[in-house]
Amino acid sequence: MSIIPSKTLIDAIVTGEHGDPFAVLGMHPAGPGGTWVVRAFLPSVDRVQVLHHDTGAVAGDLERIHPEGLFAGALDSQYRERFAYRLRVTRDGHTWDMDDPYGFLTVLGDLDVHLMGEGAHLRPYEKLGSHLTELGGVSGATFAVWAPNAKRVAVVGDFNDWDGRRHPMRLRGGVGIWEIFIPAVGPGAKYKFEVKDANGARLPLKMDPYSFATEMRPQTASLVYAENDYSWGDDEWLIGRKRHSHRRAPITIYEVHLGSWKRVAGQGDRFMTYRELAEELIPYVRDIGFTHIELLPISEHPFDGSWGYQPIGLYAPTSRFGSPSDFKYFVDRCHQAGIGVLLDWVPAHFPSDPHGLGRFDGTALYEHADPRQGFHHDWNTLIYNFGRREVANFLLGNALFWLERYHIDGLRVDAVASMLYLDYSRREGEWIPNQYGGRENLEAIGLLRRMNELAYTELSGAITVAEESTAWPAVTLPVYLGGLGFGFKWNMGWMHDSLRYIARDPIHRRYHHNELTFSLVYAFNENFVLSLSHDEVVHGKGSILARMPGDAWRQFANLRAYYGFMWTHPGKKLLFMGCEFAQGREWNHDAGLDWHLLDISWHVGVQRLVRDLNRLYRTLPALYERDSEAEGFRWIQADDSENSVVAFLRQGGPDTLPVVVVCNLTPNVRAAYQLGVPGLGFYAELLNTDAEYYGGSNVGNRGGVRAEPEPWLGQPCSLFVTLPPLSTVVFQRRVEDEPEAPPKA
């Protein structure tokens, strides 16, 4: 190639239209004589010289060959071999030296490119996106992005005046990945990708799909991030969680929306930061006794009102509460306090904001082109093309990213049902059947199975939880046995039935007894989590307390009895923030919780009860060891619909004592109520939701009841107990009490 390229090439460079700028810019052979030419596009620069990188000697002066700032020139004839060089630049009388991005070879290794082309790179985030690095002794940042149908892609940012002509990228043929190394770019630099579609039309500037940090909304730039910016202190936690069998462990989850747990009232009602939340939220959760915090999605999202469920920056913790380092600090402090962290993860859909993934390179790249497959009418969002290997790689890599880079203990996967069914919330003619004519989304099923395989093989001790609202079979069965492979599934049936029941006036409950008992028909089909989540306190549903019937006394008594039933029912537990102290109003994401209610004794009583339920649950293996096994539950009294009473045994391993639970869901006190129990002895009353300490009427059994040798309903012995009004009472035989041998039934 000659020193001065053709007018066509010059025009393509200065207008930012050239699809392969590395073929023109940088150092190239000038001809068969062994001399070299350097070309550089530097708008607003007066003079450019080429320096030998090692010696600092001037190797040549470049001539301006276009008024927009394209320079070119042959190097001194003494230089016969390619060498590392720098540019000495003069503008307005000021001179400085700089490294030329077009003087460096490829950024991505051939193996990485191959694996990403195959969709088999387990950690694509280590190569795509921006990364601070050093090449040839030069510090800067690499940038790489997948845009296979683009005519040209450039990095624009505050380091190049957002000028797309300055840093157009190199295309790695065959895989559609564009890359460049830009020297001197440091942490915190703002950038986006300027993409031109196949026809050369400039698209709205795109945020980096793999960016690790972003600007605070409403700004939308990605930020170059120093990845090794935090020193973890949770080794003991990570080692310890590997030893747990989560199915047999006590798990009680406090679900939190970080933006509205508490606000800083004295400073304009601003958000608390990750570090401030670490100082207040973590001690609170530990005091109340929850084992885990589950965060509503914290991936970067443009709209507060989506609560994070419409993320654009899937790899970036939202900047609303601080930096990525600050979020690592929060997770680290949770672990050091003995609290696990679960994260709501949203692989089902994404918003159509112009700076996001939608039509990223001018085509339906991440989403399906056909709206019958690629658009959610319910949420006005786009659906990932799960069958496209690069898209699946993007999502699978993201799951590992949170588990590895942020030490997250588990992912709760949102809207799984919308992924599994092609006809989800669609009428006839609005969806496309799979290749076998069915409604199952085979590509989504494959993605979820692979995600679970990776989570459980790559991260020992991590868990996954499905929010799956249908009766899809084997959600928590391992993949190798034909299941989806999740660790747990939210029990939506229990939630709907039990809330419907408890909202009824007690006088009518006798006619709907099955709403309380039906969940035990299928309670062991999956590994369940009983969830009273944010979804139950929004969109006009009111608070959990507000659903309770009757006057204030009965509302609080109903709520306490309901929580007692929930904590003793088989399944792990999840409670949304504010429900633990009976917030009366519906949740508002734009305001903090009503903490002033803790000045009122009834609300304090509910908080005390939740604390004691958590303590009891964690200390009695019978309440958690066999949560997912039929052997862990036995009815004592399932059919007393006339009195709206249920009673049951919870049983752990062979070395644990069973627990007796009885719920009286009417306001009537029932004296000498007969319960069958498995043996003689003194049964201590461990918890009574009607205790005065919780705000109740203090009806009870004076510490416990001694069993009588009278068989009852299949049990060899009987207790005659007092059932307080609207209550759940928990009994357990004392270990030190040596019972006589029970008579045969």
- Please list the active-site residues: 414, 467
Q: How far from chain centre, in Å, is Cα 603? A: 31
Q: What gap in Å lies between CA 707 and CA 679, rounded to an integer?
A: 7
Q: What gap in Å lies between CA 581 and CA 33, rounded to an integer?
A: 83
Of 662, 637, 646, which is closest to residue 721 (Cα–Cα)?
662
Query: Where does 209-323 have alpha helices with state H?
Result: 235-241, 274-288
Residue 250, helix vs strand vs coil: coil
CA dihedral 464, 465, 466, 469 (to 10 degrees): 170
Buried/exposed 288-327: b ≥16 CB within 10 Å, e otherwise = bbbbbbbbbbbbbbbeeebbbbbbbbbbbbbbbbbbbbbb
Task: Enter the tokens of residue 675.
Answer: 């319960």
Of 672, 644, 400, which is closest to residue 511 (Cα–Cα)?
644
Q: For every residue of 660-702, which 3-state class applies, written as one string?
A: EEEEECCCCCEEEEEEEECCCCEEEEEEECCCHHHCCCCCCCC
- φ/ψ of 364, rounded to 5, equals -75, 90
Please report, for residues 64, 163, 185, 196, 347, the alpha-carbon distance to residue 156 in angstroms, rounded to integers and kept in the order given.
23, 6, 12, 13, 28
- φ/ψ of 176, rounded to 5, equals 75, 25
Beta strands in 75-120 (DSSP E): 85-91, 94-98
Q: What angle do CA 68, 69, 75 make, to 5 degrees?
A: 150
Query: Where does 527-598 have alpha helices with state H?
Result: 552-568
Please report, for residues 78, 211, 216, 299, 394, the alpha-carbon distance to residue 398 in angstroms, rounded to integers and kept in the order given.
51, 11, 21, 10, 6
Write down the residue that tokens 């009976």 correspond to.
582
Q: What is the chain's alpha carbon radius of gyration, rounded to the nearest angstrom?
A: 32
Contact 144/226 with Cβ under 8 angstroms? no
Residue 688, beta-bridge partner list: 729
Q: What gap in Å lies between CA 706 and CA 692, rounded to an integer?
A: 23
**Which secondary-structure segment (H or E) carries 61?**
strand 58-66
Write down the residue that tokens 């959990």 correspond to.
544
Contact 595/604 with Cβ under 8 angstroms? no
